[in-house]
Amino acid sequence: MKQIQAVFDAPPGHWVGDGFPVRSLFSYGQGAESLSPFLLLDHAGPHRFEPTRHTRGVGPHPHRGFETVTLVYQGALEHSDSAGHGGEIGENDVQWMTAGAGIMHEEYHAPAFSESGGTLEMAQLWVNLPARDKSAPPAYQTLLDGEIPRVALEGDAGQLRVVAGRYGDRKGPARTFTPINVWDLRLVAGGDVRLEVPEGHTTLLVVLAGTVLVNGERLVRDDSVVSFERQGESLRLEANNDAKLLLLSGEPINEPVAGHGPFVMNHDSELRQAFADFQAGKFGDLRGA
């Protein structure tokens, strides 16, 4: 069994733009080596927005050197980028964006959602790219709910959606640069499940809602993250009430991490080059996308 290494408790919240009230549940500033290949996870909401004709969200901003994975639980988002990608994702859809060599991006509440108002809840995960792939062309994967395999957990404990990687014989639709599992879990009250996870992987359990007893020893509540030792091949979860979780596991990249704001590279010199390229307009222009 993978032993618990650390538990990160819920931090204070902050706003990203005017559309996303978030808590950053972990970030590479807490120890990039122990989190690799994962960099950051923001949980936005749940937050009730009143109807408006105003466009809420985050305007044009750059990224380089990693991927963003946005999971929508409630509400709807619309995005566009300088590589010509764009679209809308709604409840239980996932947006997987490869920033790679550099991209300009913007993300807003979808127009219909803004006009009707409602509850928004989402999570955004940052996944690092190895040095060999940090110059990959920008790309975008739309993973709709109907394309994501669902697995009923033993003992009627709940269900698991395989966004990336594998669970048993089910394979998730996301294409990844390194071996990664992203599992979206719902456990029912009283659910008791043992999950098999790869030996040697960094493994993180994100508790978005509910209360869960982990490995029979640690009670973990809303907006907390459990980090596990890489040794071992399983963990046990017992839900005290209905729970919403993310289970992330990935092969460590084992390379230096140099990050600042929207850029994550291997060395400070590459960060300086990223800022210079952005200021020179080399990430493209959303108006010409």
92-121 tens-digit pLDDT: 999 999 999 999 999 999 999 999 999 999
For the stretch 225-263, pLDDT in tens is 999 999 999 999 999 999 999 999 999 999 999 999 999
Residues 240, 191: contact at Cβ < 8 Å? no
CB atoms within 10 A of CB 137: 10
What is the structure's pLDDT at 289? 45
Mean pLDDT of 41-47: 97
For the stretch 66-95, pLDDT in tens is 999 999 999 999 999 998 888 999 999 999
Encoding tokens for residue 159?
């269900």
Greatest distance between any 2 Cα atoms in the chain = 57
Could you tell me the pTM of the whole model?
Answer: 0.96
Question: Which residue, chain included where needed, has tokens 């014989």?
Answer: 169
For the stretch 206-233, pLDDT in tens is 999 999 999 999 999 999 999 999 999 9
Distance between CA 175 and CA 182 in Å, rounded? 11
Instruction: Map residue 114 onto helix, strand or coil.
Output: helix
Residues 270, 89: contact at Cβ < 8 Å? no
Encoding tokens for residue 18?
């005017």
Average pLDDT score over the chain: 96
For the chain, give the number of residues.
289
